[in-house]
Copies of this chain bind each other. A is one copy, B any other.
Amino acid sequence: MKAITQLKNQGFRITLPRQEILNTLENYPLTVREISHTLKTKNILVDLTSVYRSLELFKQMGIVQEIDLGDGMKRYELIRQDKHHHHFVCNNCGTIKDISSKIEKKMMKDIQSKTKFLIQDHSLEMFGLCQKCN
């Protein structure tokens, strides 16, 4: 279901800030500042606070996902239909690429049966050099 529809269906208002924030997230994960800056270049001024609040709402609605690359800022990306994936960050140019792996599920099952922990979620981030920078 499209994010906007989802908002409407759940009784939330379709505001310009919300629509535009969602638009910025089309391509790759962004920080709050990056979202705000992107909007500024389109002459759409949205306060940082509102960006934070919108993202919090989107997160709770399952529209958006928070990712942490360990650099002190959270990043946000749209959740595409059940396409669980991870990220590769280039240490040189900073580009973020989506990564998905088939072995992953097996790995989680393995760990779960070995440890008897119930794994509800996990995050996997990779760092290195992208094809261009290598």
Contact = CB atoms under 8 A, between A and B. Distances in A.
A117 B101 contact: no
A103 B99 contact: no
B97 A101 contact: no
Contacts of A90: 117
Contacts of A99: 111, 115
Interface string A61-93: 000001010100010000000000000101100
Contact of A120 (B104, B119, B128, B131): B128
A116 to B, nearest CB: 5
A123 B125 CA distance: 5
B124 A123 contact: yes
A91 B103 contact: no
Nearest to A116: B131
Contact of A107 (B97, B103, B120, B130): B103
A124 B121 contact: no
